[in-house]
Amino acid sequence: MDIRDCITDSGALDAASVAISNGRLIVLPTDTVYGIGADSFNPAAVANLLAAKGRGRQMPPPVLVGTKETAEALAEEFPDAARTLIDTFWPGALTIIVMAQPSLSWDLGETAGTVALRMPDSKPALDLLQRTGPLAVSSANKTGQPAALTIDEAADMLGDAVSLYLDAGKAGGGVASTIVDLTATPYRIVRQGAIPREDIAAVIDLEDPGEP
C-alpha cells in the first residue's frame, strides 16, 4: 500500500497521474471528503472503482473537472442555470447533473445519458486534474460506510484495491457536496450536502420541496 503526502512530496501528484494513466485507482483529497478516483475514459478502471466500493453500475460515479470549460465540453447542453451555479459555487461543494456529450467514449455505469460534474475547491485535487484531465471520483469508502475524512480511514476500507493514496491531512469540509439535477425542469436537489438549499434557490429556480 503506497501512501504519499501530496503537500510535502513534490513527486506525489506525478506518481498519481502515472497510476491513473495506467488504469489504476488512487485516493485523493478534496474540499469535502477523500475520494477514490479513476480515469473517467477507462471503462475497466471505472468498473474497478465501483467494485472497490462494493457498488453496482446503477450508481455511477461523478466526474471531477479542473476547469469550467472542461465541464461544458463534457455536456451535450449547458443550461443557463448550470452556468449560474458554477459561476457562483465553483470551485466548491456543488455537483451538477447535466446531459452528457453523447460522442464521448466512456462508460461510467447506468447513467441514462447524464453526467454529474464538480470542480473541487482543493489545490492538490485541482493540480492533479490539470495533469490527468477529468476523473471519475466517488467518496473513498465502502458503500454504506461513512465517507473517509482521513487517509487512514480510506486505506482501512479500500486497502490494496487502490494503487496510491494521496495524503493531505484531514479532509476539508467533511460533508459531501450538494447535488442539483439540471436535466429537467423544475430543477431539483437530489442530495442535500455542504451548500444549503436556500443558497441554491437564491440563484436558480428550484422545485417546491412540498410537491409530491
pTM, two decimal places:
0.95
- Residue 209 clears pLDDT 80, i.e. is over it: no
User: In this predicted model, which residue has the larger pLDDT, 207 or 85?
Assistant: 85
The predicted structure's pLDDT at residue 129: 98
The predicted structure's pLDDT at residue 210: 64
Q: Which amino acid is at 101?
A: Q
Q: Report the percentage of the chain scoring pLDDT > 70.
A: 99
The predicted structure's pLDDT at residue 44: 97
The predicted structure's pLDDT at residue 167: 98
Lowest mean pLDDT of 52-56, 153-157, 173-177, 179-183, name the range. Answer: 173-177
Let me know if residue 212 belongs to a domain. Answer: no
Let me know if residue 54 belongs to a domain. Answer: yes
Cα torsion angle, 190, 91, 25, 101, sign: positive
> Cell 449547458 belongs to which residue?
78
Let me know if residue 208 belongs to a domain. Answer: no
**Pairing label, strands 188-191, 178-181:** antiparallel
CB neighbour burial string for 94-127, b if at least 16 within 10 angstroms, e if fewer: bbbbbbbeeebebbbbebeebbbbbbbbbebbbe
Could you tell me what percentage of the chain is helix, strand and coil, using 3-state DSSP and rounding each to the nearest 5?
30, 20, 50
- Chain segment 132-150, per-residue pLDDT in tens: 999 999 999 999 999 999 9
Supply the range of the domain harboring residue 95: 2-201
Let me know if residue 209 belongs to a domain. Answer: no
* Cell triple for 89: 459555487
The predicted structure's pLDDT at residue 172: 79
Q: How many domains does the chain have?
A: 1
CATH number at 102 reads: 3.90.870.10
Taking residues 61-84, report their average pLDDT: 96
- Chain segment 101-132, per-residue pLDDT in tens: 999 989 999 999 999 999 999 999 999 999 99
